[in-house]
Structure 1
Amino acid sequence: MKLLILLSRVPWPVEKGDKLRAFHQVRCLSELHEIHLFALTNRKNTHIAKEKLSKYCKSITIVRISIVTKIWYVFLALLTGKPLQNGLFYSRKAKKRLATLVEQVQPDHLYCQLIRVADLAKTLSIPCTIDYQDAMSTNMLRRKKASPLLMKPVMDMEYRRLVNYEQKVYHQFDHHTIISLPDKNLMPCRLKDSIHLIPNGVDYTYFSPMEGPKEVDIVFTGNMGYPPNIDACEFLIQEIIPLVKQRIEGVNVMLAGANPHPRVQRLASPTVEVTGWVDDIRDCYARSRVFVAPMRIGTGLQNKLLEAMAMQIPCITTPLANSALGGTHGENILVGETAQEIADQLVMLLSHKEKATAMGRAGHQFVRQHFSWEESSKQLSRIMSSTTQQKP
C-alpha cells in the first residue's frame, strides 16, 4: 500500500530516540510498502538526510518551521489550552503542504509519530495510526520533579495539558501504538487496552560485539541535552562514582552523546570524559568494560540499553528503565535503585571479569530474542493494513 509517514523531525541523523525509531520503521516498512515521508525541521540544510532516506522513500517532503513561527504557535497553544509542544511542531504552511501531498499521492494510510503532529493530520479523511511512543504526560510529570524551581509551573501546566490531549486525540485515529507495556499502563485514555505494543529493536548488522582494548571503565550514552539523561549523568558522577572510588582507585567514566548540556559539561574532569557528538557510537561501547544507565526520570524503552547489550557489554540500570526492557536481574542485567546499590554492582563487574563477560553474553542473547526492528515493523504493517482492507 501507499503509506504516508508524518514525523515531527527528519529521521537522520539518529541522535534522538524518536528519530531512531522513525528511521528504522521507515527502513523496514519500505520493504513492504511504498513510503512517502513528510517531516518537519528547523534546519536549512537537509540534503544529507534526504540522500540517506531516499533509498527507502518514494517521495520526501521536508517543511522548515522558523523560530518566529514556532514562537507564534506556542503562544497560540498557550491561549487555546493545547500542549506547548504542539505549537512547536505546527504551522499553517505545513498543514497545507501535507493536504496537498495527500491529494497528489492518494495514500492508503497515514502513520503519525507522536501526538505533537496530530493537529496537522486532523482534517485528513484517510485511515490513520498514531504512535504515542511513550506516555508523554507521565514523562513530563517525572521531569517536573527534577526541573529547576522556576520551570516547575510550566512543566506542571504542560503535564495537565498532555493528559487532556492524550485522551482527546485518541478518537482521531483508527489505531494506536506505544513502545512498552509500562507506558501503555500509564496512558490516561479510557480505551488504552486497545493500544498496540510495538517495541523498538536493534540493528544487529551494526551493533554487534567488537574486539579491542577496554580503555574505559564505565560508559553512559545518549542525547546529553535531554533532561532525563542530564539527571542520570549527575546522579552517576556526583553520587555513584564517589562510592565506587572508595573501593577501586582510578576509575574512569565516559559520557558519550550529542548536545551535552552545560550541566553535563561541568561534570568533565581528568577521570570523566564528556565527548559530545561522536561519529560512531559503537567505538564508545566497544572501548568500555561496563555500561550503566542510572535513569531516575523519563519514560519509554532505553535504546542505549539495547545497543550496549547487543554489543555484549554488561549492563546496569534502574527499575524505572528495566520496567520497559523486561530484563532479569542477576541473569542478563543488573538492576539497582540507590547510589549504593548501583555502586556495589559496578564494583562487582569491574572486579570480576568472568562474571562481567557472562552477563554481557546473556544480555546479548536476551535482546536478540526479544527486540527486532524487522519483526516489530511487520506487526505494525499488519495493524495498518487491516484498517486499509476494511475501507471500501
Structure 2
Amino acid sequence: MSHAKPALLLLVHRIPYPPNKGDKIRSFNLMKALSAQYDIHLGCFIDDPFDQQYIPTLSQWCKTVFCINLNKWRAKLAGLSGFISNNAITLPYYYHAALASWVKQTVQAQHIQHVLVYSSSMAQYVDTTTYQQLIRVIDFVDIDSDKWRQYADKSTGIKRWFYQREARLLQQYETRVCQRFNASLFVSDDEASAFRCLVSPALHNRVHSVLNGVDTDFFSPTASFDAVNLPSHYIVFTGAMDYWANVDAVCWFCQNIWPSLKQRYPELHFLIVGGKPSSEVRALAQQLGVVVSGRVNDIRPYIAKARFAVAPMLIARGIQNKVLEAMSMNKAVVCSAMAMEGINAPLSPGAIVADGTEHFIQACITLLQQPLQHCDNRQWIIDNFTWQQTLTALPQFISGDSAI
C-alpha cells in the first residue's frame, strides 16, 4: 500500500506551463521534480491568454490548480498603490484577494506544511505570522531589485527616479523575506554570492544556489523536429521578445553589430526568434537581413541550422536559458560576459565571450570565416547542467533538512 505524499503549496507568478520562456522553464522543472515526492497545490497567474489552454495539462503534476488571469491594466493600477503604502509596486501588482483567500483555505484544508514560492512577488501570500510555522522556501531565481537598478542606470529623468525607488524598496523586501523564510534559492552561485553581500552575515547560511538546467534530450543536435523554411546562412537570437533585457540586447546588436556583418556577408540573415515581439523589435525587421519570427511552435530548428547563436545581453541576472539551449544543441555561441555568467563554460572557439562593439564584431567574423570543425559545448552542458544534476539538493531545502 502506497503512503500518501505530503502536501506542498507552490505559488508562481506565471503559469509554469508550457516551459517556453526562461522563468517558466525553471518553475516547470521545479514543479515536475517535486511532484514525485509531494502532492502539489499550485496557485499562479496567467498573463497570456494563449496559456489558458494548458490549465488541464497541469493535473499531470498537481493535485489542485488555482489560476487567476492577470489583467495588466488592473495590475498596473493596483501597482500604483505602492506609492501610497511606500511599497515596491511589484507587490500590489501581483496581489489578488482571491488568491490570498485560496492560499488560506488550501493551507488549512490540505494540512500544508511545506511552501515553495517562486519569485519575490509571490512571497506576500505567506509572509505573515499566520504561516510562520510552515517550512517556507523562496526561489528568488535572481536578484530582481538589481534588475531595476540596472534599468535605472540606463534611464534618465522620472524613469530613473522610478526605477531607483523600485530597486531600493524591493531590495528591502527581499531582505525581509530572507529573514523570515527557511531558505532562499538563486539560479547560480554568482547570484547567491551577490545576494549574501546584501544581507547580514547571520543570514548567509539561508542563501543557496540551485542552478538552472536544460533538457538535453529535447535540445539535442540529433533530436527530430519539423522542418522549417529558413535562410541558408543566418545567426540566431532566441528569447521572449517582450522582455526588456532581450529587447535591449537585439536592439544593441542591430544598431552596433549587424551593419558591419551584413556589409561583409551580404547573404547573411539575423533571426530574432521568440514570442510577443515589442514594437521596437518588430521595427528591426526593416533592417536588411533581419527577420523577426514572432511566436514559434519549436525553437530547435532555428537553433539547429544557425551558423551560431548570439546573446549580447547588456542587462542580465542569473543563468541564460538561451545559452544553455544553444550549447546543448552543440551550437557555437557568442555572448556578453553577463550572458555567460553562471554558466562559466571554458573559453573555446565555440564559446566566445565578447564585450564591446569591436570585440563582438570580431568574434562573429571569426566564426563566419572559419566554421567550427569541432565543438565541445554540448559536453559541457551534459557534464554540468542537466536538470537531474542541478536539482539534486532541492528536496532537502523543501523538507527543511538544509534550512535553519
TM-score higher than 0.5: yes
Match of 1:229 in 2: 246
What's the CA shift for 1:64? 3.3
Q: What aligned pairs does 1:359-378 form with structure 2 within 5 A after superposition?
A: 359=375, 362-378=376-392
Give, in whole Å, the separation in 2 of the partners of 1:169 and 1:85: 14
1:381 equivalenced with 2:395 (yes/no) = yes
Letter in 1 for 2:384: H
- Contact 2:233 2:269 (8 Å CA) reproduced: yes
Pick aligned residue for 2:270 from 225, 228, 253:
253
Q: Secondary structure at the match of 1:330?
A: coil
Q: Which runs of 5+ in 2 are unaligned?
A: 1-5
Q: Secondary structure at the match of 1:218?
A: strand
In structure 1, the partner of 2:167 is 159
Deviations 1:225-269 (A, max 9, x none): 111111110111110122223433332100000111111111113
Equivalent AA in structure 2 for residue 204 of structure 1: T
- Match of 1:372, as an amino acid? T
2:304 to 286, 305, 312: 286
DSSP-derived class of the 1:304 partner: helix
- The alignment partner of 1:378 has SS state of coil
Letter matched to residue 165 of structure 2: M
Q: Superposed, which structure 2 residues align to 1:142-291 within 5 Å?
A: 142-147=150-155, 149-187=157-195, 188-190=198-200, 191-210=203-222, 215-268=232-285, 269-291=287-309
Return the offset for 1:34: 2.1
2:152 counterpart letter in structure 1: K
- Do the aligned partners of 1:6 and 1:37 also contact (CA within 8 Å) in 2? yes
Report if aligned partners of 1:237, 1:267 keep a CA contact under 8 Å in 2: yes
Q: Displacement of 1:276 after TM fit?
A: 0.7
Aligned with residue 308 of structure 1, among 312, 326, 335: 326
Measure the CA separation in 2 of the matches of 1:214 and 1:289. 11
How many angstroms apart in 2 are the aligned matches of 1:152 and 1:347?
36
* Cα shift readout 1:32-56 (whole Å, capped 9, x = no counterpart): 3222211123466755222222111
1:120 aligns with 2:138: no
Identity over aligned pairs, percent: 26
Q: Give the direction of change, closer, same or farther, for the CA distance of 1:174–1:255 in structure 2 (3 Å limit).
A: same
Q: TM-score, normalised by structure 2?
A: 0.89
SS of residue in 1 equivalent to 2:112: coil
With over 3 angstroms needed to count, the CA separation of the structure-2 counterparts of 1:44 and 1:312, relative to structure 1, is closer
TM-score, normalised on structure 1?
Answer: 0.92
Distance 1:61 1:109, change over 3 A: same
RMSD over aligned Cα, in angstroms? 2.2
Please give the alpha-carbon distance, in whole angstroms, between the structure 2 residues aligned to 1:273 and 1:140: 30
Change (3 A) 1:168 1:307: same
Give the distance between the partners of 1:79 and 1:114, measured in 2 at CA: 23
Distance 1:249 1:177 in 2: 46
Distance (whole Å) between structure 1 residues aligned to residue 391 and residue 331 of structure 2: 26
Moved more, 227-236 or 147-156: 147-156
Per-residue deviation at 1:284?
A: 1.1
**CA–CA distance in structure 2, aligned partners of residues 182 and 389 of structure 1:** 20
Question: What is the rounded CA distance, in whole Å, between the counterparts of 2:56 and 2:150 in structure 1?
Answer: 38
Change (3 A) 1:276 1:389: closer
In 2, Cα distance between equivalents of 1:256 and 1:148: 30
**Does the CA-based 8 Å contact 1:314-1:357 persist in structure 2?**
no
Q: Distance in 2 between matches of 1:358 and 1:32?
A: 41
Q: Could you tell me how far 1:150 is from its partner in structure 2? A: 4.4
State which of 299, 305, 309 in structure 1 corresponds to 2:317.
299
More displaced stretch, 36-45 vs 332-341: 36-45
Residues 388, 364 of structure 1: CA spacing in aligned structure 2 closer, same or farther, 3 A cutoff? closer
Q: Judging changes above 3 Å, is the alpha-carbon distance between structure 1 residues 49 and 357 closer, same or farther for their aligned structure 2 residues?
A: farther
Describe the SS at the equivalent of 2:338. helix
Tell me the SS of whatever aligns to 2:396: helix
Per-residue CA deviation, residues 319-357 of structure 1 (Å, 9 max, x unaligned), is 11212211112265100001111111111111112xx24
Q: Does 1:102 align with 2:107?
A: yes
Retained in 2: the 8 A contact 1:138–1:186? Answer: no
* Change over 3 Å in CA distance of 1:249–1:47 after alignment to 2: closer
Give the whole-Å Cα distance in 2 for the aligned partners of 1:65 and 1:277. 20
**1:349 and 2:367 are equivalent in the alignment:** yes
**1:168 shift after superposition:** 1.4
| Offset of residue 15 of structure 1 | 3.7
Specify whether residues 171 and 311 from structure 1 end up closer, same or farther in structure 2 by C-alpha distance, changes over 3 A only.
Answer: same
- 2-structure distance, mates of 1:357, 1:313: 12
Q: Tell whether 2:28 aligns with 1:23.
A: yes
